[in-house]
Amino acid sequence: MHEEKHSGAQSADLQEQRKRLVDLQEERKHLETLFADRINFYLVFAAGVLAFLFDGQHSKWLERSALGAVTLVSVLMIFALWRTFRLVMGILHELASKYKSTPYAYYSEHATWVPNANYFLLALPISLTLFFICALISSLWA
């Protein structure tokens, strides 16, 4: 009888772990999609501003306004992306450390020589933001 109670508790614990894994996977998919959508929006927005700036001659006022707007949006996007990035990385860390039987844990353990791709994705808007800040400062001093 004692073994049946123990077996029932193990079964309930296993079910809870499976439910947690399913919940984590669903949240991971949601957050990774959100992260990708935000980066895509930012890259399209930044490309549009760059095309405008390099398209032809514009008045200094219009150029500075465009650079000011894209710099502000860029800085705000970095905050939004950073938070989403941290949430994604937290879930991926939990998957890799607590659910060793998942494919992510296996591949994460065997691909230690290359950083997680999300670091590279986050570097794109950070690099462009730094470029826009420098361009704005240069435009103001010109």
Note the pLDDT tens digit of each residue in 37-78: 999 999 999 999 999 989 988 999 999 999 999 999 999 999
Of 70, 82, 68, nearest to 34 (Cα)? 82
What's the rounded mean pLDDT across residues 11-38?
A: 93
Distance of CA 8 to the CA centre of its chain: 40
Query: 124 pLDDT exceeds 90?
Result: yes
Angle at 111 between CA 95 and CA 120, to 5 degrees: 85
Is residue 111 over pLDDT 60?
A: yes
| CA–CA distance, 134 with 65 (Å, rounded to integer) | 14
| Residue 23: both structure tokens together | 């919940």
Tokens of 73: 């949006």
pLDDT in tens, 87-104: 999 999 999 999 988 888
Contact 67, 132 (CB under 8 A): yes
Most confident of 4-8, 85-89, 114-118: 85-89
Cβ atoms within 10 Å, residue 40: 10
Average pLDDT for residues 100-125, to the nearest whole number? 90
Of the candidates 142, 130, 121, 140, the one whose C-alpha atom is nearest the C-alpha of residue 70 is 130
Ramachandran assignment for 59, one of left (phi > 0), alpha (psi -120 to 50 degrees), beta (any other): beta
Q: Quick one: pLDDT band at residue 3, thresholds 50, 70, 90?
A: low
Query: Which residue type does 92 have?
Result: L
Instruction: For residue 59, give the amino acid letter.
Output: S
Q: What confidence tier does 2 reach under pLDDT thresholds 50, 70, 90? A: low
The residue behind tokens 């984590």 is: 24
Q: What is the mean pLDDT of the chain?
A: 91
Tokens encoding 109: 């353990």
Residue 4: pLDDT over 70: no
This prediction's pTM: 0.82
